[in-house]
Amino acid sequence: MTEDEVRQRAFAMPLTSPAYPKGPYRFVDREYLDGAPRICELVRYTLRDLTIKGAWSGPGALALFPHALAPVAELPVLEVVSAVHILTDLTLPLGAVAYDYLVA
């Protein structure tokens, strides 16, 4: 697997809407982007100083944990199709709001 393939597979969330620029994204309930608490936003992060030390595909597992506002853990995990494991050094700087659900 080349470094470009690792970046494409592991650091980009597969959003199908053309309204969103390419990832990576993270859904947050509370995040400190500018020192103020944030809620219900889709935040875009740009990874910096990325050094991939190792990357491989292999067996993986998915663990879902209960949450009062998101009952995702009740969904059955039928099959883990693939997993990519990455060993890297990176800097995760402050994010930028890609979509604010409270404004929409």
Quote the percentage of the chain above a pLDDT of 70: 62
Give the pLDDT of residue 1: 58
Average pLDDT over residues 24-36: 51
DSSP H/E element including 27: strand 25-28
Residue 16 pLDDT > 80, yes or no? no
In this structure, of 5-19, 52-66, 71-85, the range with the lowest mean pLDDT score is 5-19
* pTM score: 0.45
Q: Between 49 and 99, name the one with better pLDDT.
A: 49
| Total number of domains in the chain | 1
Containing structural domain, residue 10: 3-100
CB 26 within 8 A of CB 45: yes
